[in-house]
């Protein structure tokens, strides 16, 4: 399959519920599902290259595989929440549990980039040993460096509008160059799903996500962040499944100390680092794709 199909599920909330979109690759009835969950301001098409590679590798091995890449609520093709203060990990985890129930996989793996990794830790802790088979945490851990949160807060919700896809791609690169080396074609492909037409705006484009994502984010204090990290360490320490930890060697979000600690606590993650990359690896480069593919399908 060269292109994914788009699907929707309904998830409950305190209002009338909301729709969550997800992209499905590979065999639609496969018992083995890889669930790929994106970062804070991203969306499910971030995983196109990885999804294709996983499906092709499974097909060569005579295996049936489905790769599912949701647009977390407030992003992409999913609904925006009526209450912006609900844009937090507990809401996202509840939505993903609804999605997992809908998929009915007998073998489930999780790949989570940044925020997607935090959601993954929460989901895996909730499901226990009978839930997710293997976990990939992409440049994230229970402790998130405060300076990285401050950096993200400088651009979150302030995207504005653009006259062209190239203009949008250039603006996105200005805040995401830490993703590491990409060709112009690769970055344009990553940027295309990041924008939508402005209603009544002709050819003008806007970022895909709800700007209100910034409201709960900007209320986080160092004290609240420390409390959240304590909870995430408890979740991480409760995990008992094979875990791969990817880290951009120049990451400002996942420190070397946190990464090393994660190899010694909880599931004792296996750490793989990528030189010349910060936060976060996009899982497009061959070595990044191979690390994930070997861990999940090797």
* Mean pLDDT, each 10-residue run in order, the chain (298 residues): 90 93 96 98 98 97 97 98 96 98 95 98 92 97 95 87 95 94 96 93 91 94 94 97 98 98 98 97 98 97
Using DSSP's 3-state secondary structure scheme, residue 20 falls into strand
- The whole-number pLDDT of residue 202 equals 80
* Residue 13 lies inside a defined structural domain of this protein: yes
Look at residue 160 in the predicted model and tell me its pLDDT: 82
Show the domain range for 165.
Answer: 158-208
Single residue among 208, 231, 247 that ends a domain in this structure? 208
Query: What is the value of pTM for the model shown?
Result: 0.96
Do 226 and 183 fall into the same domain?
Answer: no
Instruction: Count how many domains the chain has.
Output: 2
Tell me if 213 is assigned to some domain. Answer: no
- Among candidate residues 186, 208, 230, the one where a domain is terminated: 208
Asked if the structure places residue 199 within a domain, the reply is yes
Does residue 182 sit within a domain? Answer: yes
**Same structural domain for residues 84 and 173?**
no
Strand order in 205-207's β-sheet?
161-162, 205-207, 195-197
In this structure, the answer to whether residues 112 and 149 fall within a common structural domain is yes
Q: How far is CA 80 from CA 15, 85, 169, 293, in A?
A: 12, 12, 23, 33
Please tell me whether residues 118 and 45 are part of one structural domain.
Answer: yes
42 burial via Cβ count (<10 Å: 0-12, 13-18, 19+): buried
Q: For residue 230, give the CATH number of its domain.
A: 3.40.50.1820
**71 and 187 fall within a common domain:** no
Dmax over CA atoms of the chain, in Å, equals: 54
In a domain, 59, yes or no: yes
- pLDDT reported for residue 149: 93
Both 19 and 111 in one domain: the answer is yes
Do the bridges between strand 5-11 and strand 18-26 make them parallel or antiparallel, or are there none, so unpaired?
antiparallel
Residue 215 inside a domain? The answer is no
* 214 falls within a domain: no
Please tell me the predicted confidence (pLDDT) of residue 1: 53
């Amino acid at each position: 399959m060269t292109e994914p199909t788009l699907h929707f599920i309904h998830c409950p909330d305190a209002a009338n519920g909301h729709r969550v979109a997800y992209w499905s690759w590979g065999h639609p009835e496969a018992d083995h599902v890889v669930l790929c969950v994106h970062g804070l301001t991203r969306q499910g098409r971030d995983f196109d290259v990885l999804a294709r590679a996983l499906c092709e590798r499974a097909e060569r091995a005579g295996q049936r595989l489905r790769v599912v890449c949701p647009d977390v609520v407030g992003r992409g093709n999913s609904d925006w929440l009526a209450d912006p203060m609900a844009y937090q990990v507990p809401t996202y985890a509840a939505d993903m549990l609804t999605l997992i129930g809908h998929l009915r996989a007998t073998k489930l793996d999780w790949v989570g980039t940044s925020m997607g990794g935090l959601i993954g830790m929460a989901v895996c802790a909730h499901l226990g040993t009978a839930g997710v088979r293997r976990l990939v945490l992409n440049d994230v851990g229970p402790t998130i460096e405060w300076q990285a949160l401050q950096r993200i807060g400088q651009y979150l919700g302030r995207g504005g509008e653009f006259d062209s896809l190239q203009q949008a791609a250039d603006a996105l690169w200005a805040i995401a160059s830490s993703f590491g080396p990409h060709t112009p074609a690769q970055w344009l492909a990553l940027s295309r799903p990041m924008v939508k037409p402005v209603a009544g705006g002709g050819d003008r484009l806007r970022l895909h996500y709800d700007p209100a994502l910034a409201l709960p984010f900007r209320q986080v204090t160092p004290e609240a962040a420390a409390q959240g990290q304590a909870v995430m360490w408890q979740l991480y320490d409760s995990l008992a499944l094979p875990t791969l930890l990817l880290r951009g060697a120049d990451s400002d979000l996942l420190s070397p100390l946190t990464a090393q600690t994660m190899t010694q606590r909880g599931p004792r993650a296996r750490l793989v680092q990528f030189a010349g990359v910060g936060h976060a690896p996009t899982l497009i480069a061959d070595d990044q794709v191979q690390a994930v593919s070997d861990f999940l399908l090797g």
